[in-house]
Amino acid sequence: MSAKTIKFDDLLKAELKNPEFREGFEKETAKLDSAVALMNAREAQGLTQRELAERAGVPQSTIARIERGDNTSMDTLSHIAFALGKKLKVQFT
């Protein structure tokens, strides 16, 4: 007897019907969106994590943690945005 195959998108759609799962999924997605945005901005300027950290006055490990999706303070994000020559924009959509 073979195992039934299910597409990931179908599984996710079913799981998102669970309010608890949906809340966790949305929180993690928001953190990862921020991580990707920082990584893209850093790489677009040709900076390493260490170079950005030096410009922002934070440890390189802070940049690495943010790019992994870990939480950080708005103050730290503001320093990083300034070091990139960017403005930090927070939206509730």
- Structural domains present in the chain: 8-83 (1.10.260.40)
Burial annotation 27-48 (CB, 10 A radius, 16+ → b, else e) = eeeebeebbeebeebbeeeebe
pTM for this prediction:
0.75
Q: How confident is the model at residue 4 (pLDDT cuts 50, 70, 90)?
A: confident
pLDDT of 20-42, one tens digit each?
999 999 988 888 888 999 999 99
Instruction: Give the residue among 61, 52, 60 at the shortest CA–CA distance from 79.
Output: 52
